[in-house]
């Protein structure tokens, strides 16, 4: 485990600072302590995301978000006792405290059970033509465009492997041979790769109808033109915690209105707002989907992901939003591809 200090924050720290601690500690948790290192509260990655959905600002204080009702163990507790407690209470971290309530250690579920391979499959949508990126995509599939010296698709694959996934399905159509020749059966990465071959474009969800019937666990779906650093293990836990049928990753997006906005009550002007900045959440192109929803995907028909989600909601399936505060970029335009070249570095990704 990392140095315990990597997980500690003061209650007057901002949410932005807490996010930095959570990301640096790689355990999806920060421990709020006083000047004597006495534990005051816990802040999980999920707490941060729920706070953002409540419109909390990144300048809000940790004490406004932290949970004061938490589980803790004596610092001399065994890993077996910690594991039993975490499984009983369905939690993934538990602090160990001395007699004065000071944090001495942090038990982490993943470190105790040392889970290496996840049973969940990953579907990467890599069949699009990338028309907006022509002429770069005239002879190259969009997911095979290089960022930081590697194909975008390989970056996504390796991130998922690092998070413990080993079963992959690549949806292919346009210039599919280039993708299949490069990745093969996945043995170069010690994983299994199968291909969902579209005979014609099937949209952002239609290829899911080509998945085998033996998919039994919630599966991850990633658009092949997304560049992100997301903790996929935390995403799976979020999906499970909220008992969702679909979890949709969302990203905050700001739009500057270039004009002064006039607010009226009938014909009476009640307010003037000069060039306001509007913020809203947009679809980030990353999903967790329960296998039962595959029955909603029509076979061999063009079908987009929004259609699947709307169909699921109409049938009262639970759809939850997972707000992303980590790095995320949609490589769909020449401008965003250039941004990726300028910003992306092959630094370490999150381990789940």
Query: How many residues does this entry show for the chain?
Result: 352
Chain mean position to CA 270: 41
CB of 192 closer than 8 Å to CB of 177: no
User: Based on C-alpha coordinates, what's the Rg of the chain?
Assistant: 22
Catalytic annotation, pick one of 2, 142, 275, 311: 275
CB of 110 closer than 8 Å to CB of 91: no
Chain mean position to CA 299: 28
Q: Using CA atoms, how far apart are residues 342 and 350, in angstroms rounded to an integer?
A: 21
E-strand ranges in the chain read 8-9, 29-33, 39-44, 73-74, 93-97, 103-108, 121-125, 146-147, 150-151, 167-172, 192-197, 219-223, 226-228, 246-256, 260-265, 268-274, 277-289, 319-324, 328-330
Beta bridge partners of 197: 172
Q: How far is CA 284 from CA 42, 76, 137, 224, in A?
A: 28, 43, 22, 12
Q: Give the tokens for residue 283.
A: 């679809």
Give the chain's end-to-end CA distance (angstroms, integer).
13
Residue 129 catalytic?
A: no
Q: Give the tokens for residue 24.
A: 């640096």
Q: Give the tokens for residue 340.
A: 């990726």
Backbone angles phi, psi at 155, to 5 degrees: -60, -50
Task: Enumerate the active-site residues.
Answer: 275
């Amino acid at each position: 485990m990392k140095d315990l200090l990597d997980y500690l924050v003061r209650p007057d720290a901002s949410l932005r600072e807490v996010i930095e601690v959570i990301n640096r500690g790689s355990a999806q948790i920060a421990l709020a302590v006083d000047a004597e290192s006495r534990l005051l509260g816990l802040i999980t990655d999920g707490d941060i995301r729920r706070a953002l959905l409540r419109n909390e600002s990144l300048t809000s204080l940790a004490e406004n978000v932290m949970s004061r009702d938490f589980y803790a163990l004596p610092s001399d507790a065994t890993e077996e006792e910690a594991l039993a407690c975490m499984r009983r209470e369905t939690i993934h971290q538990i602090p160990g405290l001395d007699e004065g309530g000071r944090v001495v250690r942090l038990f982490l579920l993943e470190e105790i059970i040392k889970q290496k391979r996840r049973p969940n499959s990953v579907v990467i949508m890599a069949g699009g033509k990338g028309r907006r990126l022509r002429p770069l995509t005239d002879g190259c599939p969009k997911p095979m465009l290089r960022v930081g010296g590697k194909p975008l698709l390989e970056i996504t694959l390796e991130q998922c492997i690092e998070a413990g996934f080993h079963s992959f399905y690549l949806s292919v159509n346009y210039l599919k041979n280039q993708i299949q020749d490069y990745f093969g059966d996945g043995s170069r990465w010690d994983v299994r790769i199968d291909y969902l071959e579209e005979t014609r474009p099937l949209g952002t969800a239609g290829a899911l109808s080509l998945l085998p019937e033996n998919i039994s666990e919630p599966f991850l779906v990633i658009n092949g033109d997304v560049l992100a650093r997301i903790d996929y293990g935390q995403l799976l836990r979020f999906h499970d915690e909220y008992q969702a049928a679909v979890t949709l990753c969302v990203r905050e997006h700001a739009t500057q209105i270039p004009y002064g906005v006039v607010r009226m009550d009938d014909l009476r002007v009640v307010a003037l707002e000069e060039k306001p900045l509007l913020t809203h959440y947009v679809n980030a192109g990353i999903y967790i989907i329960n296998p039962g929803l595959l029955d909603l995907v029509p076979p061999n028909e063009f079908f987009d992901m929004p259609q699947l989600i709307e169909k699921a909601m109409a049938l009262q399936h639970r759809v939850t939003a997972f707000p992303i505060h980590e790095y995320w970029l949609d490589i769909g335009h020449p401008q965003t591809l250039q941004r990726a070249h300028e910003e992306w570095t092959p630094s370490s990704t999150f381990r789940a």
